[in-house]
Chain A
Amino acid sequence: MLGEGILKGMAETAKNFFGSYVSKERLTTVEYPEERIPTVEAARVFPFLVYDGADWEAGLRCVACQICEKECPPKCIYIDKSKDKKPDYVGKQQFYPTRFDIDISVCMSCQICVEVCPFEAIKMDTEFELATDDRFGGLLYDRKQLARSNEYYHSIHPTEASEVDARLGQEKAKVEAKAKAASEAAAAKAAAPTPPAPPPGGGS
């Protein structure tokens, strides 16, 4: 009958109107910035540098291999390699970056730098409220601004971080085992009585 569709439509909108006061599914507005939708775990915005331990400079995982700088499509990473070395998480001496700048106005969040990093040093952050009124320098993040602790990494990407930690732990364990075996072999070699000359005052 003519007009039936209109009446059905009006009933539906009336249901929406009154339902929006009682049920959440009929009023899906999230009143930002007082309320926020929690971000999913795989969210990514801009990169950050991971450091282990308490001191960001000493624990920074980045060894300035510059692979991410070369792979970055819009070339927004600027790295200066250091001249000296410092020990990394397994104790090996590595270079470190004296300058590591990311221009987040250029960064397109493609995550290629994260995918190619062999040292699990650069990961994607989820923070997006980064507006600033400093047009020229405010969007160029340097090393200190980019460094975040491993605990922070755990808090934003728990599964990823645990998986990374597990892998790094395995590597460390392998290296330690190798070092232990090497030192045992060296100790065994030193303790084996091969030289004919008698020790001067009793071996030790």
Chain B
Amino acid sequence: MNVVFYLLAALTIGGGLAAVLLKHLVHCALATTVAFAGLALLFLQLDAQFAGFAQILVYIGAVAILIVFAILLTRGSELPKDGVFSRTWFVGLVIAAGVFAVLAWAVLQSVRAVPQQTAVPAVTVHDIGNALVGRYVLPLEIVALLLTAATIGAVIVAMHEKERPR
């Protein structure tokens, strides 16, 4: 359904553009959330159920909240005095365009490698689970280790200071 794809793409790009163009920082965070939702819907449109729902659960349910908490706990919602864009925005645009070109070339190369007419393989959650603990168990364990390190770091940062002698 090409129409659906273009709509979702428009939603995602619109969200991303709004995230950089809006003035208020929390509005930008919420626009980023819309972009995440668009990505999730694109995954779902490709029948990748697990990826789509995990995207919503993790990105919208956790990362977006993390972003807004970070905004509120650090700068608050004061508008910056000098405007939102840095003075070197043109160079940033060129670099972003370069990265996009490289990624687009990589994606198109892989699309050309796979013939168009094969049926989409039905990947169930069962298969993903099998792959995770079978073939990809090492990345899984490394990610788990990373998460543990992050949790311990968070606990240490937030731990009460030792009581000072009065």
In the complex, is A directly touching B at CB under 8 Å? no
